[in-house]
Amino acid sequence: MNTAYMGQKHTLTLRNPTRWNNESECVGSHLSFRPEVEALTGQSSNKLGAFRLSILQWKIAEQLQELLLLFRGPTLLFSQKELPLISDVLTILENLELSLQAARDDKSAPACIRIAAQAGLFMIRKYLGLFDDCEVYAIAIGTLHYTLLLYGC
């Protein structure tokens, strides 16, 4: 059970594809309200049987939630008024890339989770590739690191 929602939420999160972290919130709320969701989809009078998840699908939802949570911190940071420095963005993207690679290479994970991780890797690598297009970024990052080393910051 996802305890992040306990005591705070009273309804399932509605899907809104234009809102940051919404997929994670939707999956998280379904996991938090699993008994209620199963009760609703399990009653034939509700005619929601087609939406009832199997045990395997609930496990996949839990793994998907873990994968989606990797994006929560970076998206919250990037959507704030004060943007991080380019060197911080690069570090965040590289850490996200490593986490997604680990998820993709996890042979015990279902294929759909590994495919989702690979899709995330495609996007991360697209943005990391943009750094290569502008030498000023590399110079700025190198200068920043040199200055930090020089002054012991």
- For 33, 34, 46, 64, 124, the CA distances from 41, given in Å and listed in that order, are 12, 10, 7, 21, 37
Q: Same domain for 97 and 145? A: yes
Domain boundary pick from 70, 93, 125: 70
Domain membership of residue 25 as a residue range:
1-70
pLDDT tens column, 13-54: 999 988 889 999 999 999 999 999 999 999 989 899 999 999
Query: CB of 1 within 8 A of CB of 28?
Result: no
pLDDT for position 125:
92
Q: Same domain for 32 and 89? A: no
Q: Same domain for 63 and 28? A: yes
Residue 107 lies in a domain: yes
Domain boundary pick from 39, 70, 101: 70
Answering whether pTM is above 0.95, one says no
Q: Same domain for 91 and 153? A: yes
Query: Does 76 or 151 have the greater pLDDT score?
Result: 76
Q: Same domain for 92 and 153? A: yes
DSSP-derived secondary structure for 84-122: PPHHHHHHHHHHHHHHHHHHHH-TTS-HHHHHHHHHHHH
